Structure formats: structure tokens, C-alpha cells
Amino acid sequence: MIESFARHLRSITVIAACAAGLSAVAWAARPESPAPVPAPAPVSIALVDFGRIIDALTEYKDRTDQVATRGKVLEDNLKALKTQREEKNAQIKMVPKDDIKRGQALIFERLELDSQIEARTKLYQRKIDLDHGDVIRDIYNKVIHTAEALAKKEGYDMVMMDDRSMTMPLSGTPDTYGQIIQTRRILYAKDALDLTDRVLTIMNTDYTSGAKPNP
């Protein structure tokens, strides 16, 4: 009886030792827990409203006035051609009915004027559009450079275009609303994040003094 109990006790000891060994192996094979990921550093963001800058920017007003002045010259050229066409029409009416060759010659000249007026109208409009586009491009680039310099000076990590003024119309189609939803990025922001007035002041001062922001 004693020997049987001793054998039983040895069996339990062996099983326990095996179990402990297996546990040790399993623990050794267990992958190490990954190190905790640090929380991202807070980002300081500012906003700039391009539309508000355009509305109050001295350079934009001056340059659009210049475009308008050039457009007035082109418009006067068109008016001169149109006056010639009216005179040609008056000449055509004065031609005797039996002077067919003279009448045909004047009609052909009137058609040439029609073609010139049509072509120059398109050309002049294209010229004005391109001139105005140059103004928008230059102002936009200056806004970017000015906002970047101000952000670096005051420690902002990011400056975004403020599109909070883009709101839903009282009535519209699903396409209209969908376009606004897809386009607008900022749903809410504190007014303290708005750098528009400061960027505007810097740009107006630089323009008045003749300074140019670094590209």
C-alpha cells in the first residue's frame, strides 16, 4: 500500500514538472507586448478667408481697375468697327438698285466688318479673362506666402482656407447640396483661429510700401 502511494506521488510530481515546463515554454514563445504608442502632438491650426481678402485688398482693386481700363480701350476699338459697319449699311441703302456691282462690293465690305467684329469680340473677351486670371493667380500666391510667413513666425502648424461662409441655400436640388457637402471642409472653428485680417493688413502694407513676400 505504501509503495503504491509512493508511485502515485512520483507520477503526480512528474506531471506537475511537465506542466511547469510546458508553461515556461509557452511563456517564452509568447510575443512581447508592443510598446504603447504615444499620443500625437497637438496641432495648431489657423484659417484664412480668401474671399474677404479679395474684397478688401488694395492691390486687387488697383489691378482690376487696370484690367478694366485696358478693356475699355478694346471696347472702344469694337465700337469703332461697329460705327464703320453702320456707315457701310447706310452706304448700301444709298446705292441705286441698278448699280449691282457697287451694291455687292459694299455688302462684301460689310461682311468683312461683321467677321472682324465677331472675331475681335471673342479675342478681346479672352484677353480680359486672361488678364483677370493673372490677377487672381498672383494674389492667391501672395496670400499663401504671407500666411506661411505669419504661421512660421507665430508657431502655427497649418493654415487652411476658411470655407465656413459656404452655406446651404434655402432651396436647391440634391446635386446642389451634394456639391456643397463635398466641397466644404470646415464644419466649425473658433473665431480666434481666423488670421484673415492680419494677413490682409500685411499684404496691404507690403503693397503700399512696394515690398514683395518671399516666394
Half-sphere exposure of 211 (CA within 13 A, CB side): 10
- State the pTM of this model: 0.72
Q: Where do we find the cell 480680359?
A: 128
What's the pLDDT score for residue 211? 59
- More confident of the two residues 64 and 31: 64
**Any alpha helices (H) in the chain, and if so which ranges?**
2-29, 50-56, 58-94, 100-154, 174-183, 196-209
Burial (CB count <10 Å: 0-12, 13-18, 19+), residue 76:
exposed
Which of the residue ranges 12-21, 85-94, 98-107, 197-206 would you say has the lowest mean pLDDT?
Answer: 12-21
- Supply the pLDDT for residue 35: 72
Contact yes or no for 207/56 (Cβ under 8 A) = no
Work out the percent of the chain whose per-residue pLDDT is above 70.
82
pLDDT, tens only, 159-182: 999 999 999 999 999 999 999 999
Q: Which of 6-20, 41-55, 159-173, 200-214 is least confident? A: 6-20
Q: Is the pLDDT of residue 29 over 70?
A: no
**Average pLDDT of the segment spanning 188-200:** 95
| Grid cell in block for residue 192 | 480666434
In Å, the largest CA–CA distance within the chain is 152
Indicate the burial class of 146 (C-beta count within 10 angstroms; 0-12, 13-18, 19 or more): buried
Q: Looking at residues 94-108, what average pLDDT do you find?
A: 91
Q: How far is CA 60 from CA 30, 89, 105, 194, in A?
A: 67, 43, 49, 21
